Chains A and B, each alone.
Chain A
Amino acid sequence: MASNSEFGDDSLWRLAIQNYYPRILNYVYLLTEDRYLAEDIAQETFAKGIAKFHQLTDPDKFFPWLLSIAINTSRTQIERNKRSIPASDMKLYISKLPVDESPAELFERQETATLVLEAIRKLSHQEQQVIIMRYYLDMKERDIAFALGVTTGTVKKQLFRARSKLYNDLHQLSESVGDENG
């Protein structure tokens, strides 16, 4: 961003993009299952974040703050782009592979991920958001609350409810995966 000094410290934004762009991208992707839409929203999130950076009051909340921009942007963009790729097609995009993984293990891991995403898809939108923030982004409850603009108590309740539903749907699958790994 060397040509745009108005963005403040360019190197910091470069660092922020390196560190947080993949996380924002995947957060939106896991919600929408649309790579192109996710890329567009993640890029828009950074464009808005740079423009609104002066509004950030607590630097420790940078990522939850950025995520709240992504959430608001997603809301309008998703409405505009009512399109989605079926969860069954998702395996096409799964590309993070451990080097020592066999083709059979890879196939099984993809199948498991697809089943988990299908179960998540049955939750309400807010529940999907908290699950992805908690289990994919490893965020603390208070940061999830900040990003969603709700209380920590609400997040706790939603997480508990969503996790219980997922457990009912997936515990047999998780047992079998656990058995094979263990």
Chain B
Amino acid sequence: MDDAKFDGFLSNSLKAAEIQVKTPINELEQIIIEKITVNKQKKKEKRRRVIQVAAAVILLIGISSAVFFPGPVYALKKQFFQTILNIGKSINISLNSDADRIQLQKQIAGEVTAIQGGTPFKILVPQYIPPGFNIESVKKSVADEQPCIIMSFTAPNANVLFTQTSVTDKFSSSVNVDAQQAKAKKVQIDKYEGNLITFEDGSANLLWITDDHLMCQIFGDISPDQAIEMANSIK
């Protein structure tokens, strides 16, 4: 048998083993659409988890670094900030830009009520949410020894986290910032002094500690003014 005949034999044999499509095209399209939806949800959930874990790590570093590692860890912390900011920028979630503010507050209140029970401090809620942002989730971090609440807000291509962590009364924190890529300044948040870091790309990180020993932090794709306004609106 020559090469061409053997090739033909292989080809015919494989084609004889072919199975037929039994599913009608409309049904197939529907299945594929459903799979696309499921894949999107999985992707979104995965990214959200990454952000929350990264946020928890930042807080842990922020807390432990003040005690154990005075200097070098801050560079790592900044790197985590950047990671989170970058993740936030790559998120593409479509939200209704005309979201009803009252409805949004109700939604946040509902989520807060659901986890307030097991939390040893009163969960703070910002009354001002920057335009275009919607609540993504309110979660209690189980990764840290210190109770930590993470509120995640999203807008198309943007992400902001508001975290609150219970700290001891001896807790102190400091942040070293690369002056070429970010600027830091003291700002007034209600009666507290806060540290505002503005990054070159327009994102910001605002950190302050309340009299109730809560370390609060707002960071992500948010302007400095919006971060301060959000912080001042917290009740």
Contact = CB atoms under 8 A, between A and B. Distances in A.
Best-buried of B15, B29, B40 by chain A (most CB within 10 Å): B29
Contacts of A93: 19
Interface residues of B, number: 27
Contact of B21 (A22, A51, A132, A178): A22
A150 interface: no
Given A44-B35, A51-B39, A21 B21 contact: yes
Contact of B9 (A50, A95, A178): A178
Contacts of A30: 14, 17
A156 interface: no
Contacts of B20: 22, 95-96
Contacts of A50: 32, 36
B4 to A, nearest CB: 11
A110 B16 contact: yes
Contacts of B31: 43
Interface stretch (A61-69, A74-82, A140-148, A169-177): A169-177
A21 B7 contact: no
B14 A46 contact: no
Contact of A136 (B9, B14, B21): B14
Contacts of B9: 170, 174, 177-178
A4 B14 CA distance: 36
User: Would you call the interface of chain B mostly helix, strand, loop, or mixed?
Assistant: helix
A116 interface: yes
Contacts of B15: 96, 136
Given A135-B11, A174-B6, A43 B18 contact: no
A43 B1 contact: no
Interface of A: 1, 3-4, 14, 17-18, 21-22, 25-26, 29-30, 35, 38-39, 43-44, 46-48, 50-51, 90, 93-96, 109-110, 112-114, 116-117, 131-132, 135-136, 138, 163, 166-167, 170-171, 174-175, 177-178
Given A43-B28, A50-B32, 13 more contacts: A17-B32, A22-B18, A43-B31, A47-B39, A51-B39, A94-B18, A109-B16, A113-B16, A116-B10, A116-B14, A131-B10, A132-B14, A170-B6
